[in-house]
């Protein structure tokens, strides 16, 4: 697919994640890339990166062979897929890069197939930094032959892995985010504990980052906690949506997720106290409140 300028690619949703992802597709794929977002500033940035700014989502559906979407809510995801089916042509491939509940994908998949099109659920993980670097984890469910066809396109944004049939990509993302959520809560609790004990946070970070607790998420979030930088690279609101999706799907499976329940309790507190749109590092605020301590300094 690389270098195939005849393939027209559409990108819907040019937000914190979508814009840098689309820019990587523009730079690396060799395809004509059309984009649309309701925010005009995002469209301007997309155009400056070399993309074709569409006048409407409908233009993307009617023009493009492959339509990728990075959208915030189930209602918008469903509407976009239904519109892609309505206005698109047979053979089109729709790739949902958003984080959706698996049952939503399973409901949409046969509708897309009936229209003679193809549908992949392909959520991503890594936040804004990895979206910019083009190193996202990409988990893709659907027809394997279609995955292989678009794999070079997905590889422009990160490391695509085929996870199985429809819905499996989003189940895999839920596994990723339940683990990630628990890890984030543990990091926040640990640094609130350190602050309460009066030890130096930067020294704590340097002493532990190469140990068992360390890793990419640790390296990304702990400096933000120490500097009280809650500018969102990945918003708690988005992560909480995945936690709620995981809880819903677990209910369908007839199981409990007790550690995830704790993560949700913390995120609910963040929501109730007006912190839901800050970075995940801001989960430390919950522990500041419970331990009566200030963690880090600007």
Structural contact between residues 100 and 126, judged by C-beta atoms closer than 8 angstroms: no
Residue 161 backbone dihedrals phi, psi, to 5 degrees = -130, 130
Which CATH class, in words, describes the domain spanning 8-165?
alpha beta
Contacts (Cβ under 8 Å, ≥6 apart) of 150: 1, 66, 93, 95, 120
> Does the pLDDT at position 5 exceed 80?
no
- Give the torsion through C-alpha atoms of 117, 118, 119, 122, to 10 deg: -140
* Domain 8-165 identical in fold to domain 171-291: no
d(CA 248, CA 100): 12
d(CA 41, CA 125): 25
pLDDT band for position 293 (cuts 50, 70, 90): very high
Give CA separation, 156 vs 100, 124, 145, 159, in Å.
22, 13, 19, 8
Closest CA to 78 of 55, 54, 94: 94
What local confidence, expressed as pLDDT, does residue 33 receive? 98
pTM of the model: 0.90
What local confidence, expressed as pLDDT, does residue 96 receive? 98
- Quick: pLDDT tens for 67-76: 999 999 999 9
What local confidence, expressed as pLDDT, does residue 128 receive? 87
Active site residue ranges: 173
What local confidence, expressed as pLDDT, does residue 156 receive? 98
Domain locations in the chain?
8-165, 171-291
- Quick: pLDDT tens for 169-213: 999 999 999 999 999 999 999 999 999 999 999 999 999 999 999
**Taking the domain 171-291, which CATH number applies?**
1.10.1040.10
Joined together, the tokens standing for residue 228 give 């009280």
Structural contact between residues 247 and 148, judged by C-beta atoms closer than 8 angstroms: no
Closest CA to 10 of 97, 82, 123: 97
Joined together, the tokens standing for residue 159 give 């490391």
Average pLDDT over residues 37-48: 96
- Quick: pLDDT tens for 156-171: 999 999 999 999 999 9
What local confidence, expressed as pLDDT, does residue 4 receive? 54
Joined together, the tokens standing for residue 233 give 């690279």
In which residue are the tokens 């300028």 written?
A: 5
What local confidence, expressed as pLDDT, does residue 170 receive? 97
Between helix 236-253 and helix 102-114 the angle, nearest 10°, is: 80
């Amino acid at each position: 697919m690389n270098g195939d300028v005849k393939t027209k690619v559409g990108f819907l949703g040019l937000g914190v994640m979508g814009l840098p992802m689309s820019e990587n597709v523009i730079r690396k794929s060799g395809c004509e890339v059309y984009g649309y977002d309701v925010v005009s500033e995002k469209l301007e940035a997309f155009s400056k990166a070399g993309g074709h700014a569409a006048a409407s989502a409908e233009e993307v559906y009617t023009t493009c062979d492959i339509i990728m979407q990075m959208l915030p809510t189930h209602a918008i995801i469903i509407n976009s897929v239904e519109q892609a089916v309505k206005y698109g042509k047979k053979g089109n491939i729709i790739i949902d890069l958003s984080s959706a509940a698996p049952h939503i994908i399973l409901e949409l998949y046969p509708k897309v197939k009936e229209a003679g099109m193809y549908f992949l659920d392909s959520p991503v993980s890594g936040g804004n930094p990895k979206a910019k670097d083009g190193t996202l984890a990409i988990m893709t469910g659907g027809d394997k032959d279609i995955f292989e066809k678009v794999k070079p396109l997905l590889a422009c944004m990160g490391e695509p892995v085929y996870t199985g049939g429809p819905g499996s990509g989003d189940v895999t993302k839920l596994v990723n985010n339940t683990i990630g959520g628990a890890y984030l809560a543990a990091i926040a609790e640990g640094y609130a504990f350190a602050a309460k004990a009066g030890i130096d946070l930067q020294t704590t970070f340097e002493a532990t980052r190469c140990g068992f607790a360390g890793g990419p998420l640790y390296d990304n979030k702990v400096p933000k906690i120490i500097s009280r930088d809650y500018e969102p690279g990945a918003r708690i609101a988005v992560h909480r949506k995945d936690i709620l999706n995981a809880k819903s799907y677990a209910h369908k499976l007839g199981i409990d997720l007790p550690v995830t329940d704790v993560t949700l309790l913390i995120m609910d507190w963040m929501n109730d106290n007006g912190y839901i749109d800050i970075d995940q590092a801001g989960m430390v605020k919950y522990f500041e409140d419970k331990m009566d301590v200030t963690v880090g300094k600007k």
